[in-house]
Amino acid sequence: HTQGSGKTALAYYNVQYLVDYFQKKEMIPKFYFIVDRLDLLIQAKREFTARGLMVYIVDSKDDFVKSIKTTTAIHNHSGKPEITVVNIQKFSEDAQVVESKDYDINIQRVYFLDEVHRSYNPKGSFLANLNQSDTNAIKIGLTGTPLISKDYYSKDLFGDYIHKYYYNASIADGYTLRLIREEIATDYKVVLKEALDKIKVLKGDIEKKKVFAHPSFVEPMLDYIVKDFENSRLTFSDASIGGMVVCDSSDQAKEMFEIFNEKYALNYSISNDLQNAADPEPDYD
């Protein structure tokens, strides 16, 4: 499912459906939503809670083992449907997070694993441990970009697709904005080419990733991005316009972050302070 399709909502509706399904089979289901970052945990909790689902949070290995060993399917006392949101960021590379003896065999566990293109190496991570320790669990992988390389193939890990929702469908339904490609201004093309040539002269034959992460290339590229961003706000008379920079590598992202903080962050902070400067509104009691 592509971005904007509502993968968290999909998990929510599955909980509603599967509770009823397993009750008819006289089985007790227990639901887990697995993420690999704290911000995704917070987002998932907010979305599940807004829909009326009780949420139990796990963000450590010890808490996860305790949850697995719990003989009840829910932690709340109201009896309402519940999902446990697990942040595996701190223990995703631990191949022995849990062992088979930790699991309560009378409960059917259902795992919704978010962003499975990113964090689930089948050879030595959380997923490998989960497959070995809880062989009867149901594992549903959620991703907008399934891996299809010869090294990692999502279908080998999770089986065939249950359902697919493509990018063009998301655009047609109004959930995703259409991407429009714009050419870089000619003068900046020249600047960037000169920067690349300069790096090659200084550094010789180095790999492409390091060239694009070099400050001599990153700084003029950042200058262009900031200028283009400012112009878009002026063109559309909309100061609320935001943006996202997708970098070539983590090294390039770090370099851009450092240069931005040195060159632009203070100016933007002062500018925003001046824009917001005004006499305080009187407080009428």
Q: What is the mean pLDDT of the chain?
A: 77
What's the rounded Cα separation, in Å, for the pair 223 and 245?
13
Q: What distances in angstroms separate CA 216 from CA 142, 210, 259, one per listed residue?
A: 39, 11, 11
Q: Is it the case that residue 259 has pLDDT exceeding 90?
A: yes
User: What is the CATH number that goes with domain 7-172?
Assistant: 3.40.50
Please write the tens of the pLDDT for every residue from 50-78.
Answer: 998 989 898 887 888 777 777 666 665 56
Question: What percent of the chain stands above pLDDT 70?
Answer: 69
Model pLDDT, residue 67 = 78
Model pLDDT, residue 281 = 47
Please write the tens of the pLDDT for every residue from 190-229.
Answer: 888 888 787 775 666 677 888 888 888 899 999 999 999 9
Please write the tens of the pLDDT for every residue from 104-139.
Answer: 556 888 999 887 766 555 555 666 667 667 778 888
What predicted TM-score, i.e. pTM, was given to this entire model?
A: 0.63
Question: What percent of the chain stands above pLDDT 90?
Answer: 16
Question: Residue ranges per domain, the chain?
Answer: 7-172, 186-274
Among 55-59, 82-86, 132-136, 241-245, where is mean pLDDT lowest?
Answer: 132-136
3-state helix, strand, coil in the chain (%, to 5): 45, 10, 40
Please write the tens of the pLDDT for every residue from 143-170.
Answer: 776 655 566 555 666 777 888 878 778 7
- Using an 8 Å Cβ cutoff, are 131 and 113 in contact? no
Residue 104 structure tokens: 């309560």
